[in-house]
Amino acid sequence: MADGVQTYSSDELEDAWRKSEVLVEALPYIRRFTGKVVVVKYGGNAITDSTSGVDESLLSFAKDIVLMHSVGILPVIVHGGGPQIGDYLSRLGKSSEFVDGLRVTDAETLEIARMVLVGKVNPEIVTAINSLASIAVGLSGSDAGLILASAHSSEHGFVGKVDSVNPAIIEKLLAQGLVPVVATIGVDLSGQSYNINADTVAGAIAGAIKAEKLIYLTNVEGIRMVANDSRTLVRQVDVDDLSGLVEEGVVSGGMIPKVLSCMSAIASGAKSAHILDGTRDHALLVEIFTDKGIGTMIRSKDLVESVGGVG
């Protein structure tokens, strides 16, 4: 065969056809969500370790965010870092105590949480995105009065609850074509810092900016009717029925803060909320741009789907 002549196998051609079908399926979703805000909660549990020294899951996430941004979607990232905070506490010989699923936070633990969230996890996410496109900006809830907080309870120490969200800084960054990456440290009126549950912050921000979608990336594929049976995954549920699942105990443990935040965000004006397995490559893209999606979608009863499917 002459030099410069390139041929393709039947398998390669079939793969090309499959990719074209995916693009065609994505088109109506791209058109539908262009210009819309999508709040993505990227949990510490969604970041998996890599033996190569490069966090491949974080890079995959960054690619999803850049692609979403490239087709006109406006992502806002809210991140946690619970496992990373726990790891640093262990290295320092400091044990973690949890009450109602929240880490009891004394002054030393608060400083470690700030160091991990603002000084480590946040810049790692920003750097991963900016290695692909220079669009990400890191900030915390203490910047520009984004999150006004107060103590969650006396027994939790410096664990905070969200009193109010001032989304002005986020709206300005979005208007400039940038992607805000928010670390969940808030402050009260006196300037005291608090570490706040990232699920709660994501829901509060999504509600405050009337997001099109609130998406939780975690290490489970969504809400299950039977906790240890992936075959019972709930694909879609409205907020009224979801409230019943909480009351019945179907939703339990670490899923409760996510579900309550989803319900609160929708009540405040977000259109839908999603819970999905962020450890799977390109989970965001599958959930947003395909007919079936891969996680659980939560929506209000009056949300009318102009396009079929979970997307």
| pTM (2 d.p.) | 0.88
pLDDT of residue 2: 55
User: Strand 236-238 vs strand 37-42: parallel, antiparallel, or unpaired?
Assistant: unpaired
Question: How many other C-beta atoms are found inside a 10 Å radius of the C-beta of residue 142?
Answer: 19
Residue 54 has pLDDT above 60, yes or no: no
Question: How many other C-beta atoms are found inside a 10 Å radius of the C-beta of residue 290?
Answer: 16
Query: Is residue 165 within 8 Å of residue 208, measured between CB atoms?
Result: yes
pLDDT of residue 52: 43
CA gap 63, 75 in Å, rounded: 12
pLDDT, average across residues 186-208: 95
- Residue 270: burial class (beta carbons within 10 Å; 0-12, 13-18, 19+): buried
pLDDT of residue 13: 65
Give 54's DSSP letter: S
CA gap 247, 241 in Å, rounded: 10
Q: What is the CATH number of domain 30-299?
A: 3.40.1160.10
How many residues make up the chain in this entry? Answer: 311
pLDDT of residue 4: 67
pLDDT of residue 143: 96
Query: Is residue 276 within 8 Å of residue 217, measured between CB atoms?
Result: yes
**The two three-digit tokens of residue 259, written as one number:** 């579900």
Residue 306 has pLDDT above 70, yes or no: no
Where does the pLDDT of residue 7 fall: very low under 50, low under 70, confident under 90, or very high at 90 and above?
low
pLDDT of residue 53: 46
Q: Which amino acid is present at 262?
A: C
Give 292's DSSP letter: S
User: Strand 193-196 vs strand 236-238: parallel, antiparallel, or unpaired?
Assistant: unpaired
Give 305's DSSP letter: -
Residue ranges covered by each domain of the chain: 30-299
pLDDT, average across residues 164-172: 97
CA gap 65, 68 in Å, rounded: 5
Q: Name the phi and psi angles at 271, rounded to 5.
A: -80, -35
Of residues 264 and 7, more confidently modeled? 264
pLDDT tens-digit readout, 256-301: 888 989 999 999 999 999 999 888 888 899 999 988 788 999 987 6
pLDDT tens-digit readout, 9-40: 777 667 766 777 878 889 999 999 999 999 99
CA gap 184, 140 in Å, rounded: 6
Most confident residue range from 59-68, 218-227, 240-249? 59-68
pLDDT, average across residues 64-73: 97
- The partner residues of 98 in beta bridges, in order of sequence, read 103
- The partner residues of 164 in beta bridges, in order of sequence, read 148
Task: Provide the phi-psi class of 36: left if phi over 0, else alpha when psi is between -120 and 50, else beta.
Answer: beta
pLDDT, average across residues 133-155: 95
